[in-house]
Amino acid sequence: MVQPKNEGYLGNTLVKRSGIETKYTDQEMQEYVKCSQDPCHFIENYTQIISLDEGMVPFKLRGYQDKLIEHYNSNRFNIVLASRQSGKSITSCAYLLWFLLFNPEVTVAVLANKGAIAREMIARMVTMLESVPFFLQPGVKILNKGSIEFANDSKVVAAATSSSSIRGLSINLLYLDEFAFVDDAETFYTATYPVVTSGKDSKVIITSTANGVGNMFYKIYESAVHNQSEYKHFLINWFDVPGRDDEWKKETIANTSEAQFEQEYGNSFLGTGNTLINSNTLLGLMAKEPDWNKDGVKVYEKPKEGHTYITTVDVSKGRGIDYSTFTIMDISVKPFRQVCTYRDNMISPMLFPDLIAKYTKPYNESLVIIENNAEGGMVATQLHYDIEYPNVFVQGMSKAEDIGVTMTKRIKRIGCSTLKELLEENRMSICDRDGITELMTFISKGNSFEADRGFHDDMVMNLVLFSWFVTTDHFYHLTDRQVKELLYAEQQKTIEDDILPPGIFDTGQNNTESFVDADGDRWFLD
């Protein structure tokens, strides 16, 4: 749309300069009022965007974009999880432009991981502004790469995310683009949130594609989903975008990977890039509901006669911060299989040994391996000496500290390395939801691995301890003995089968269990 040349801003005839008096016709006044009340009407009728195929075209909102605009306008705190290339950023730019044009004396801050990206958002808004007729433009006082100031005293500024990026400003609308990729986002958000929320009508819009669970975007989005915060969530799926169907999905996965597709397009919060376990493996870990769940104990498989089990234990102080946990693994099957777990952050270390004994005895008096930190040492000693549990792992017999395992840097390094190998090579199967979630935030820190800030790794440390034990001579001798016992049992059964005649074998005892074979004969079981 060509505007009057003498009213342009610094040679740009499409942008109205400040100081130009606007005389409205009755129709224009009606249209102005309608646009001020309906952002979708304004965007669809008076803004244009650049299409890669067609150049400048009117911005025709897709169904989900129309709903997104309404979501922004209806809620004060907004967080959007969107499939990549779904148009979330350009839609947000259009809403911000409307907000500036029809709300005097407001300040909008556009922040991104890099200042150049934030300035690109300003450039998109200028492109849209150039398509808006002058009777809807308030006039521009300042326009540069990093900011626009309008004659109605509204302005927008662009900057990189930092704790000082909006210091000293009174912000009416804060827009955070691709927030899941912002470095040290928690520090930034902690410093920025009070500035924004100081105004009772201020708004926040946060948009991003998924980037793992160890970041501030994930925390805010999850809290919104579970109605645990003032934020309202909005989801844009890959199939919401016209032209994306199953064939498109197959082609995209073929050119990338399933894990990459799930995170970039499928809105899947896979593990962060520096997790111990690779994203493909994390994607394949499937949680299941336990057969029995009570008091923090989850039973996925009941004990089986003749099977050998190993229980690894991590002990907390029981003060509601870290968790006391145990994991029972069946090592008589391949891959090793998780059969029972416990997780609770309130149980006292004084009560924990009794609970351990209660649930490990049925698993054929499972070998119990306890990390003997301060609280763990107390639990290990009580379980071994006071309760006299018959199968507590003891490193040596010289002193009490030898009961359990001291988690040294070497043991943790071996355990982490072996855990990675076991899971990624499908030699160990886990199904506990809490453990899987913890693995997604168990990340590299310096020369080791630990839970990302704000998350836990107590269940993971059970797995790390088990994985270390797998590499020891103790494990070799345990499994070697098990193999020999199974072979002996099979040999005895073969001998008995050769000696016993076909037909009914009755010991004379009052057996309650029996079965009928293919010949119709009933066999009574001991």
Enzyme catalytic residues:
178
Residue among 441, 428, 409 nearest 277 (CA): 441
With beta carbons less than 8 A apart as the criterion, state whether 354 and 387 touch.
yes
Nearest residue to 174 via CA among 233, 92, 114, 102: 92
Question: Reduced to 3 states, what is the DSSP secondary structure of residue 281?
Answer: helix
Question: How far is the C-alpha of 413 from the C-alpha of 408, rounded, in Å?
Answer: 9
In 355-505, at which residue ranges do the beta strands (DSSP E only) sit? 367-370, 428-429, 442-445, 448-451
Phi and psi at residue 10, in whole multiples of 5°? 50, 50
Residues pairing with 329 in the sheet: 310, 338
With a CB cutoff of 8 Å and minimum separation 6, the contacts of 72 are 39, 78, 92, 95, 203, 205
Question: Do strands 442-445 and 448-451 pair parallel, antiparallel, or not at all (unpaired)?
Answer: antiparallel
**DSSP for residue 258:** H
Q: CA torsion, points 314, 316, 320, 326, in degrees to nearest 10?
A: 20
Task: Give the dihedral of Cα atoms 229, 231, 237, 238; nearest 10 deg.
Answer: -110
For 103, residues 6+ apart whose C-beta sits below 8 A from its C-beta are: 154, 172
Which amino acid is it at 233?
A: H
How far apart are the C-alpha atoms of 352 and 323, rounded to whole Å?
A: 12
Pair of tokens at residue 300: 């996925």
Neighbours of 329 (CB within 10 A): 27
* Cα distance between residue 64 and residue 240, in whole Å: 7
Contact (CB, 8 A) for 182 and 218:
no
- Here the tokens at position 370 are 């306890």
> How deeply is 282 buried, as exposed, middle or buried, from its count of CB atoms within 10 A (0-12, 13-18, 19+)?
buried
Burial of 117: CB neighbours in 10 Å, binned 0-12, 13-18, 19+: middle
Distance CA 41, CA 30 (A): 13
Cα 371 to Cα 180, 227, 350, 374: the distances in Å are: 35, 37, 16, 9
The type of residue at 335 is P
Which pairs from 281-286 meet CB under 8 Å and 24+ separation? Answer: 281/423, 281/424, 282/436, 282/439, 282/440, 283/258, 283/259, 285/423, 285/430, 285/436, 285/439, 286/431
Indicate the pairing of strand 107-112 with strand 155-160: parallel
Q: Return the H-helix or E-strand segment holding 122.
A: helix 115-129
